[in-house]
Structure 1
C-alpha cells in the first residue's frame, strides 16, 4: 500500500509543473537551447545580395551566412545557377542581332532598330547602320597584290577578310556575279574564246575574256583554244598529222635530167566517214589577192608511155567516174571516204617551180611560193617532189603538218652542200608564212658551216652576234641555202606567229662523195613537240651482204642540252657502222657524235648537233627533250645496180607522239614501197583489217608480192622496243594495233637512183 501511494504522489507533482510553465523570450525572439535569440531573417531562406553573393538564413531565423557562387554561376532568386553571362551584359550573336543578358544568366534578344545591325569591337557593343547585305561577298582590290575576298558580317555593318587557299593558288574572283576564292580563270596575256567566233584576251580581273579578235566566218572559222580555226579542225581531237589547213612549198631540186617535165604534186587522203572537199590557193606577189592553183590534167614523163594525171580515187583505189583527168582550179575537189586525190600543181599556167638558178636552187631570199590547202573535214596531206619517176634521179617526199600542229620555235635539220663538177648543190631550210606580218628571227651559230648564198633580195646579212630578222607574209617563203661545204643544221628559228619549216638539200650524197645524189626534204617538227625517247629503226636492208649500206642519224639538243644514252650501248652501234660512224663520210662538214661521247653517254651542249651511222636498231633516251632525223644511204652503198634507191630524209617521231592507228599512203610511181612498224616488241598489228602475222612474204625480192610481212619483230637491245617491216602495195592504207598500243610507222620506197621517206603520221601534242 505504501508503494502505491508514493507513485500516485509523483504523478500528481509532474502534472502540476507542466501546466504552470511559461516561454520567457520576448517578442521578436526565439528560444534556442535555453537562450532567447533575436529573429533577424526568415528561417531556412536564401537571399541574393548581388550577382554572385548570397546569404542563407539558418533554420531558426537567428543568423545570416554570406557565400559566393562558383566561377561559372550567378545568384538568381537566392540560388546559384550556371550562367551564360552576367546580367546586363550585351553581345552581338552569330546572326548579327543584339542580345542582353537577363537576371537568370541567359541571353535574350534585344533587337536593334530597323536598318541597323549589331556591331561589337573593342569599343563595346552598339547598333550601327547596315552597309552591306549579310553574307554577301566582294573582291577588294589591293595595291601590288591580287584582290582579297571579303564577306559582309552577319550584322551587315562591316566587311570581314576571308583568307583564300594560297597553296591552291586561289585568289578572289567574281564569277556569275558572286565573289569567292577560286583558282584564276586565266592569267594576264592568256587567250581563249570570248564567244564562238571571237578570240578573247584574259581580262584584268582574271575571271574571263575580253573580246580581242573576230574570226573569219566566211572562211568557216570558229574560236577554239584561243585561236581561229576552221570548224572541221574541231573533229580532230588531239592535235595530230590530220588537219584542215596546210601550207606546202615546192623546194629546190635538180633542173637536169628532164626535171621540168616531172611535176610536183600534193596527194590528199580522206580518213573520215563521208566525203571531204579540198581547195588549194596561192598568191602571186605582195599586192595580189589569193587565187586558186590549177591542176595539170596529164603529164607524160620519161620513160615514154608513163603518163601522170590529176585524179581522185575511191577507197578501192579505183578512179572515181568523171575525176580521172582533172584540170582547172583546185576548188572544192571532192574526195570520197577512204579515197585519195592526186593534184599535179600549176600556177599561172606553168609548173609551180619556175626556172632554176645557177646552182639548181633558188638562192637565199623571199618569194611568194607557198600553197595553202583547205579542207572541209580533216585530211592527211603529202607533197612529192616530184611525184615521178626514177628517170628524174632526184626525188623525195614530205608528210605535211597542219597549221594546228605548227609552232614558233624550231631547230633546223638540213643536208650539207655537196660539191659537184666545180660547183655544188646547197642544203636548204625553207620557211612558209601562215599569217601576215610574221616576225622571224634567225640565229646562225656555227660559222663557217652556217654560210649562206646571198644572191637574192629580202634576206639581211646576220649581225655580229649571228641574228637576222625578216618579216614574212602569208603565202611567202623564205628560202635559205648553204654555201659551199656548208650545213644549216642547228639554225634556230624563232617567230611570233606559227610558221612551217622544211629542211633538206637540192641534191645530196650519202655517204659524202658516194654516188649518186638525191633530193632531200622533210617538214620539221616544232621544238614544242620534241620527245625524250626515240627508236632508231633501220630501213629495209637492200643488200644484206653490203658493208657500206647504213642509216645516218642526226640529233639536236635544245637550250638545256641533252645527255643521251643508248640501248644497245653506243659503242655497239658504232661497231656496226661505216667508217667508225663518220657522218656523211669523210670530208663532210657535219659534227661527228663520236667527238661528243663521255663514256657511253652522248653529251650535247645547248643547241649542239651531231651525226653517226649504224646498221642496227636502237633506243635513244635523255631527261631533256631533243630531236632526231634519219637519212637513208645512197644506191652505191648497196652494191646493187638497180631499184636500190638513193638518199632520203625522214623525221623520227618521238615515242611520246605515237598513235594506235594511222592512215597513210604509198604512191604508184616507185618500184617497191615499205612500212616499218616501230613499238613494243611482239605487239599485234593489222594492215587494212588483216593481221600482218598471217601474211608472210614468200619471196624477199618480189615487189609484186604485196602486202606481206617481210621481217617479223626484231628487238633492239633490252629496251623492249623493236620493229617489223611490211612490203606494201600502192594506195591508201590503215594500220592499227589490235590491243590499242601506241606505235610509230616509217613509210619509204626504193627505185633506181631515187627514193622517198617520211613518218607515216604522229600526234603533235605540244609540251
Structure 2
C-alpha cells in the first residue's frame, strides 16, 4: 500500500519521492531496500546541481504499522493524530505554510514561500526560533563584557548594550541585569543630584579674563572623585571631600560664548564639558564666577545655572529666555537657548512660539525658528533670536518647544539684557529649563531681597503656557495680573512686582522670574533669571555655594508654615505668610564665609533660591530640585 501523498518529500532534506510523487510505494521500497518493519533509512542528496549543498539525513519513516501521524520538527513521525507537515526547499510535504512564515529544521531557519516551498534557508550560527528565525543572542540573557552590559531581548532578535561607566563607579552585574553602584540611576532617582553632568558655556559679552566655573557640592559621607572632559580631551581630575564644595574654573568655549557679535545660530561639536563623579553630587555653573578682578574692574555680566544630571534629562522642554535688545546701531544683543546631547545620534526638533519665529538662521535652523538637528554626545546647538522691525517683542525665543528622540539638556537665557529694556544696565541671563514632565500647575513666587533696608525688590514674572486657553489665579489676588493665556507657547507677564504670591494654573506652566535692572530701583544688582520650582519639586536638604566679592548675598527659603528649618545650623524664624497658602518666605542675608559654603536643612521639603548682587550685576539660581514623580 502506498503512503499518503503528504509524506512525499522532494526538498534538500528528503529524496524519497519521484517528481510529482508518481510511484510512492516503489520509491519508499527503494529507499528502504532490505529493511525490516522497524528499520529506518538514510538517503543522500541526489541533486545534479553543481553546488548541491550539505548532505542531510532523512527522517525516520515507518514502513509498516498504523496510520501515519503528525510530523515533528526533527522529521520523525508519530501515530494517532491528524497529519500536518512543513515544506521542502524544492517541493512540498503537504499543506504549505503561510508566505513569510519562518519555520525551523534544527538550526536551519526556513522562510515559507506560501506555495509549498521555501524562499530562503539559513543555517543559524546559534539557535533557530520558530516564527523568528536565527537568534542573535540567548533570549532574556544578560552578560558582561568588561564595563559593557549586554541585554538580549525576549525573542533573541536584538542585543542592547549599556555602558557601566567606571568613572562613575559603576560595575556590570549580569545577575541583576543592571549596572550597580551609588551612581546607578535607579539608586539616584530623578533629581538635581547625580554623577554625570554637562556644563555648557552660553552666550555672554563679559570679558574673557573673568572665569567660567563649576561648583561641585558633595553632601555625602564619601569622597567624590571627579573627571572633567571636553570631547576626547581630559581637562582635569580632582576630589571633593565629604560635606564640602569644590570650585573648578574652566576655559571658555569661545564659539558658544559668542560675545556681542552673534552672526548666526550655531552647532558646536564637543562644545560642552562632561563632568563625572563616582559619588552623587550637585553641580552649579557660574558665568562668570567673579564679581570683580580688581577694584573698579567688575564683570558686570553674571548669572548662574543649576545643572541637572544626564540620567534625569528628558525629551520635551519649553524655553524661558528674553527679547532681543537693540541699544544702538551695530549693538543688538539676542536671547538664546542652548541644547546639549549626551548620546550620539540625538535628533532635536524645534517648534517656535509666536515670538520665536524670528531667529538667526544657521546649523540647520531656519529663520522662522523651525529645524531638525542631529547632535552627538557633547555637541551643543545654540539658537539666537533676531529682532525684526522696531518692536523687540517680535524676537523672543521664549515659549519655543524643543523635543528630541533621546534625552537632552536645555538652557535658556540672554547675552546681556536690560529689564525692562528702557532701564540700564544689561546683564547676562541663563538657567537650566525644567522638563515639561517636571512642570506643575502651582508655584509659589517670592520677590528677591533688596540691598536697601532689606525690603523686597521688584521683579518681572513671566508665566509660559504649555497648553492653549490656560487659566490663571493668584493667592493673594494680584490686581491687573493676566488671568488667561490663549495659546501654547504664549506667556503672561507681570512687569513689576515686589509681592509674594501663589500662581495656580489650569495646565502645566513655566514660571520665570527676572530681577530688574539697577536703574529700576531696589539697590545694587542688574538682571538675572530664576526658574521657579513648584512645591512638589522641593527638597529637604541643600548644600550650595556663594562666590566671594558680591556686595549682597542672600538665600530665599519658601516653607510650609510651622516647618523646622535651619541655615548653617541656625534656626530660621520669622517666615512671612503668603496669602492663605499655608506657605511662608524668609529672605536671609548670608554672613561672610571664606569657602562660600552654606547648607539648608528642614523637617519637610522646602524651596531654596540663592542670589548675589553687586554694582550692575547679579546671579540667581535654585539650590536643588526633585524631578521624579
Q: Are residue 260 (structure 1) and residue 208 (structure 2) matched?
A: yes
**Contact 2:449/2:587 (CA < 8 Å) preserved in 1?**
yes
Pairing 1:65-214 to 2, within 5 Å after superposition: 198=149, 200=151, 203=154, 211-214=159-162
Report SS of the residue matched to 1:487: coil
State whether structure 2 residue 218 is matched by structure 1 residue 270: yes
| 1:335 correspondence with 2:240 | yes
Measure the CA separation in 2 of the matches of 1:281 and 1:521.
Answer: 22
SS at match of 2:437: helix
Could you say which residue in structure 2 is the equivalent of 1:757? 620
> Which blocks of at least 5 consecutive residues in structure 1 are unaligned?
1-128, 131-191, 284-289, 294-329, 575-592, 694-711
Shift, 1:235, TM fit: 8.3
**How many angstroms does 1:233 deviate by?**
3.8
Which structure 2 residue ranges, 5 or more long, are not aligned? 1-79, 82-139, 293-297
Deviation at 1:543? Answer: 3.6
1:557 aligns with 2:505: no
TM-fit CA distance, 1:666: 1.4
Within 5 A, what are the aligned runs for 1:441-590? Answer: 441-447=349-355, 449-454=356-361, 457-461=362-366, 467-484=370-387, 485=392, 486-543=395-452, 549-559=457-467, 562-571=470-479, 574=480
Q: Secondary structure at the match of 1:436?
A: coil
Structure 1 SS opposite 2:350: strand
Separation of aligned partners in 1, 2:180 and 2:550: 36
Give the superposition deviation at 1:607: 3.1
Structure 1 pair 550–544 and aligned structure 2 pair: CA distance change class (3 A): farther
In 2, Cα distance between equivalents of 1:635 and 1:201: 60
**Conservation of the 8 A alpha-carbon contact between 1:677 and 1:745:** yes
Question: 2:233 matched to which residue of 1?
Answer: 291
Relative to 1, partners in 2 of residues 1:568 and 1:237: Cα closer, same or farther, differing over 3 Å?
same
Find the counterpart in structure 1 of residue 309 from structure 2.
402
Does the Cα contact within 8 Å between 2:304 and 2:619 map onto a contact in 1?
yes
Shift of 1:459: 2.5
Alignment partner of 2:360: what SS? coil
One of 277, 285, 288 as aligned partner of 1:386: 288
3-state secondary structure, aligned to 1:413 = coil
Is 1:661 the counterpart of 2:541? The answer is yes
* Correspondent of 2:575 among 713, 735, 752: 713
2:487 counterpart residue number:
605
Query: 3-state SS of the aligned residue for 1:404?
Result: helix
Instruction: Decide whether the 8 Å contact of 2:320 with 2:510 is kept in 1.
Output: no
Distance in 2 (CA, whole Å) between partners of 1:511 and 1:193 is 60
Distance 1:461-1:229 versus aligned 2 partners, 3 A rule = farther
Aligned residues: 472
Instruction: Tell whether the 8 Å contact from 1:233 to 1:378 is kept in structure 2 after alignment.
Output: no
Output the CA distance in 1 between the equivalents of 2:506 and 2:451: 35
Q: Deviations over 1:203-246 (max 9, x none)?
A: 36xxx997422324555545899997875245854321111000
Residues 491/358 of structure 1: CA separation in 2 closer, same or farther (3 Å cut)? same
Alpha-carbon contact 2:205-2:258 (below 8 Å) kept: no
1:684 is matched with which residue? Answer: 564
2:466 & 2:351 partners in 1: Cα distance? 13
Q: Deviation of residue 408 (structure 1)?
A: 0.3
Q: 8 Å contact 1:677–1:724 — kept in the other structure?
A: yes
Offset of residue 533 of structure 1? 1.4
CA 1:674 to 1:264, structure 2 compared with 1: closer, same or farther past 3 Å?
same
SS of match in other structure, 1:660: strand
**Cα deviation 1:320-372 (Å, max 9, x = unaligned):** xxxxxxxxxx12x01111222211113xxxx4336975734473011132110
Task: Give the corresponding residue for 1:432.
Answer: 340
CA drift of 1:277 comes to 0.8
For residues 314 and 178 of structure 2, the distance between their equivalents in structure 1, rounded to whole angstroms, comes to: 13
Partner of 2:107: none
Indicate the residue corresponding to 1:54 in structure 2.
Answer: none
Correspondences of 1:631-670 after superposition (within 5 Å):
631-638=514-521, 640=523, 644-670=524-550
1:742 alignment partner in structure 2: 605
Partner of 2:103: none
Residue number among 611, 615, 640 corresponding to 2:498 in the alignment: 615
- Cα shift at 1:292: 1.3
Displacement of 1:624 in angstroms is 2.1
2:194 to 243, 261, 267: 243
Q: Which residue of 2 aligns with 1:30?
A: none
**Following TM superposition, by how much is the alpha carbon of 1:389 offset from its aligned partner in structure 2, in angstroms?**
1.8
Secondary structure in 2 aligned to 1:743?
strand
Question: Does 1:344 pair with 2:249?
Answer: yes
Give 1:252 deviation, angstroms: 1.0
Q: For residues 263 and 425 of structure 2, what CA distance do their matches in structure 1 show?
A: 22
Q: CA deviation at 1:682?
A: 3.7
Larger Rg: 1
Structure 2 vs 1, CA of residues 209 and 562 (structure 1 numbering), >3 Å: closer, same or farther?
farther
Q: Matched residues in 2 for 1:735 and 1:608: separation?
A: 35
Change (3 A) 1:733 1:386: same
Matched, 1:414 2:330: no
CA distance in 2, matches of 1:250, 1:362: 17
TM-score between both structures, scaled by the size of structure 1: 0.57
Measured in 1, the distance between the counterparts of 2:468 and 2:257 equals 40
Instruction: Single out whichever of 602-611 and 526-535 deviates more from structure 2.
Output: 602-611
**Judging changes above 3 Å, is the alpha-carbon distance between structure 1 residues 750 and 364 closer, same or farther for their aligned structure 2 residues?**
same
Q: Tell me if structure 2 keeps the 8 A contact 1:339–1:732.
A: yes
After superposition, what is the alpha-carbon deviation per residue over 1:594-638, rounded to whole angstroms, capped at 9, x for unaligned?
Answer: 3xx3xxxx3443332222132110011134222211111111111
Q: Structure 2 CA distance, aligned partners of 1:280 and 1:215?
A: 18
Residues 388 and 361 from structure 1, CA distance in 2 versus in 1: closer, same or farther, beyond 3 angstroms? Answer: farther
Q: Does 1:370 align with 2:294?
A: no
Distance 1:420 1:681 in 2: 45
User: In 2, are the aligned partners of 1:270 and 1:378 still within 8 Å (CA)?
Assistant: yes
Work out whether 1:630 is the aligned partner of 2:521.
Answer: no
Map 1:720-739 onto structure 2 (within 5 A): 720-729=582-591, 730=593, 731-737=596-602
| Aligned mates of 1:750, 1:650 — CA distance in 2 | 14
Mapped contact 2:559–2:583 kept (Cα < 8 A): yes
Contact 1:529 1:764 in 2 (8 A): yes
CA distance in 1, matches of 2:449, 2:152: 51
Q: Is the Cα contact below 8 Å between 2:182 and 2:188 reproduced in 1?
A: no
Residues 1:623 and 1:551: Cα distance change in structure 2 (over 3 Å): same
Report the CA distance between 1:557 and its aligned residue.
1.8
Q: 1:230 to 1:556 in 2, by over 3 A?
A: farther
